[in-house]
């Protein structure tokens, strides 16, 4: 475990304090989990970029279709695979 001194905006610190309390974890543990998630997102987007490097970038239409599908699934509606035209 590494100890670091970090500075946070007052509002952010208060929100983290509240969120940590709600989640039943320490301030440090909450921040660590948030940082871990952000790192995973970053690594994941690099993985997507690597795949795009091999096969071609996702088009604006494909990106929009992905966003729409995500929104549909998050709203609790099932879907079936569909193809989007590659530009």
Residues near other proteins (CB under 8 A) are 37, 40-41, 43-48, 50-52, 55, 58, 62-63, 65-67, 69-70, 73-84, 86
Tokens standing for 27? 């301030």
Residue 29 or 63 with smaller CB distance to other proteins: 63
Residue 1 or 81 with smaller CB distance to other proteins: 81
CB of 71 to other proteins, least distance (A): 8
User: CA 59: distance to chain centroid?
Assistant: 20
Token pair 């609790």 is found at 76
Q: How far apart are CA 70 and CA 29, in angstroms?
A: 29
77: helix, coil or strand? Answer: coil
Residue 3 or 83 with smaller CB distance to other proteins: 83
């Amino acid at each position: 475990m590494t100890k670091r001194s970090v500075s946070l905006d007052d509002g952010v610190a208060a929100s983290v304090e509240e969120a940590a309390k709600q989640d039943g974890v320490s301030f440090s543990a909450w921040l660590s989990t948030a940082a871990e998630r952000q790192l995973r997102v970053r690594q994941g987007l690099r993985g997507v970029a690597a795949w795009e490097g091999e096969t071609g970038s996702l088009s604006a239409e494909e990106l929009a279709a992905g966003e729409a599908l995500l929104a549909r699934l998050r709203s609790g509606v099932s879907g079936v695979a569909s193809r989007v035209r590659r530009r």
